[in-house]
Amino acid sequence: MKPFENLVAWEALVVASKTGSITRTALILDMEITRVSRLLAELEDAVGFPFFDKRRRPMRPTPECIELVNKLEPLIDGFRMLRAENAAPEETFRIRFAAPAELSQDYLIGFLCTYSNDHPNTVFSLVPEVRPNQMHGTDVDAAVLNHMPDDDTGLVIRHFHSSSTVPLATPEYLEKHGTPRTIADLAHHTGLAYQSVNNPPITSLYRNGVASAPLRWQKTHSCSNQLSLKTFLLNHMGIATDLFLGHVVNEIQTGRIVPVLRGWERKPWHMCIATRMEDELKTPRLRAFAEWFAVYAGNALRVATRAGWRALNRNAKGKAEPGREEKS
C-alpha cells in the first residue's frame, strides 16, 4: 500500500502532532514504536517536507505539518467513528463527568439529558468536581472547571463562558444592618463566602479593572456550593460577593435580592471543559461530546447571565443611586 493510501499512517501523523512523542503515539494507537516511526518516515518522504522539528522535546510540528493536520482531522475523526460503529454498533459509551454540584443541578444535568436523548448509546456518571491536576490521576473523562488551568499539559481545554457577579444582599438584611457605601464599610458586615475545589474565597473586588483593598468582614459564613450560598443569602445572613447571577435571576427580578456597592464586581470566572488529550485521540465520541458541550453550555449560560444582568439593571431603574463609593 502506498503511504498516501494508508489511513493508519495519516492517523499516526495526527496523533503524533498532538502528543509530540512517537512513544505516546504508539501507546495511544496500540502499535509498535518502530511501526509508527516507519509509517511517519514513509509519509514524510511521500509528501516531500518534514513533519517535525526533532531537535526539540517534545517534537514540534512544522508549519506545513500543522496546516496538513488541520485538513486531515475531520477525515480521521470520520474514519474513527466509522471504525467504532462497525466494531461495536450497540456498545454503550459512558462518560464520567465532573462538575460543581450546583451548576449540575441548575443547568448541566439538563444539558446532559439533551445530549443523551440525541445519542442514546451515551450515558453519564456524574462525580464531584476535580482540580485540573487531578485529571491525570482519576477516571474522570470530562470536567467542568470555573477557571482556566495554569498548567494544561496533556489536557484539551475548551473555554465556554466567562462571567462576573456583584455584591448581593436582601432588603431585610440591609434594613437591619445598614447599606455599605464603601469597600471599607464591609468590615461592619457579615460576608457569605464561596469556597470550593476550584474556587478559593475572593479577597478583592474590581471596578473598571482596578482591584479594591483586601476585603475585611466582621465575620463570615462559608460554604462549598453556590446553592448553599444562595440559601444563606435568602435567610438574610449577610452579603454575597461570589454568587453566579444565573442562580438568582428570579429573586433579583422580584426584589428579594438587591445589589450593593454598585460598580464593584468580582474577578470573572472563565468556565471551561477539560478532557485528557490521549482520551480524545483514542475516543472520537468523547471529543464529539466535549465540542458539543462547549457550544451548547456556552450559549445557555450566556443567556442565563444576560438575564441576571438585565434584572440588575431593571432593579436599578427608578432608584436613587447610593452615594458614590470610594475605592478603598
Distance separating alpha carbons of residues 145 and 148, to the nearest angstrom = 7
pLDDT tens per residue, range 87-121: 555 578 899 999 988 888 888 999 999 999 988 88
Name beta bridge partners: 145: 272
pLDDT at residue 231 in the model: 94
What is the rounded average pLDDT for all residues in the chain? 85
pLDDT at residue 252 in the model: 92
| Phi–psi pair at 96, nearest 5 degrees | -85, 115
Q: Per-residue confidence at 3, pLDDT binned at 50, 70, 90? A: low
Question: Are 164 and 266 a contacting pair, CB within 8 Å?
Answer: yes
Distance separating alpha carbons of residues 309 and 219, to the nearest angstrom = 28
CA nearest to 160, candidates 174, 150, 146? 146
pLDDT at residue 87 in the model: 56
Going by CATH, does the domain composed of 3-87 fall within 3.30.70.100? no
pLDDT at residue 96 in the model: 94
Q: Greater confidence, 4 or 266? A: 266
Percent of the chain residues topping a pLDDT of 70: 91
Read off the pLDDT of each residue in 251-274 and give the average, rounded to a whole number: 91
- pLDDT at residue 38 tops 70: yes
Distance separating alpha carbons of residues 158 and 105, to the nearest angstrom = 21
Distance separating alpha carbons of residues 54 and 238, to the nearest angstrom = 59
- pLDDT at residue 23 tops 50: yes
Question: Are 222 and 238 a contacting pair, CB within 8 Å?
Answer: no
Read off the pLDDT of each residue in 251-273 and give the average, rounded to a whole number: 91
Distance separating alpha carbons of residues 88 and 93, to the nearest angstrom = 10
| Whole-Å CA distances, 45 to 2, 23, 129, 252 | 11, 21, 46, 65
Rg (C-alpha) for the chain, rounded Å, is 25
Where are the chain's structural domains? 3-87, 92-328
- pLDDT at residue 328 tops 60: no
Distance separating alpha carbons of residues 310 and 324, to the nearest angstrom = 21
Read off the pLDDT of each residue in 19-46 and give the average, rounded to a whole number: 84
pLDDT at residue 327 in the model: 34
- pLDDT at residue 78 tops 70: yes
The CB-based long-range contact list for 81-85 (8 Å cut-off, 24+ gap) reads 81/284, 81/285, 81/288, 84/284, 84/285
Of 3.30.420.40, 3.40.50.300, 3.30.565.10, 3.40.190.290, which CATH number belongs to 92-328? 3.40.190.290
| Whole-Å CA distances, 187 to 177, 190, 223, 239 | 12, 8, 20, 11
Q: Greater confidence, 319 or 280? A: 280
Q: Per-residue confidence at 25, pLDDT binned at 50, 70, 90? A: confident
Q: Which cell is 203 given? A: 479577597
pLDDT tens per residue, range 158-199: 999 988 899 999 999 999 999 999 999 999 999 999 888 777
Question: Are 80 and 284 a contacting pair, CB within 8 Å?
Answer: yes
Read off the pLDDT of each residue in 271-295 and give the average, rounded to a whole number: 89
Residues counted in the chain? 328
pLDDT at residue 319 in the model: 53
H-state helical runs in 109-225:
109-118, 171-177
Read off the pLDDT of each residue in 265-290 and give the average, rounded to a whole number: 88
- pLDDT at residue 210 tops 60: yes
Q: Greater confidence, 235 or 283? A: 235
Q: Which cell is 46 given? A: 511521500
CA nearest to 228, candidates 213, 242, 215? 242
End-to-end CA gap in the chain: 72
Q: Lowest-pLDDT range, 128-142, 235-249, 309-323? A: 309-323
- pLDDT at residue 321 tops 80: no
Q: Lowest-pLDDT range, 44-48, 85-89, 219-223, 312-316? A: 85-89
Q: Per-residue confidence at 324, pLDDT binned at 50, 70, 90? A: very low
| Phi–psi pair at 202, nearest 5 degrees | -75, 145
pLDDT at residue 85 in the model: 62
pLDDT at residue 173 in the model: 95
Q: Which residue has the cell 517534537?
A: 59
Distance separating alpha carbons of residues 241 and 175, to the nearest angstrom = 19
Distance separating alpha carbons of residues 81 and 83, to the nearest angstrom = 5
Torsion angle (degrees, nearest 10) of CA 150, 154, 156, 162 = -10
pLDDT at residue 251 in the model: 93
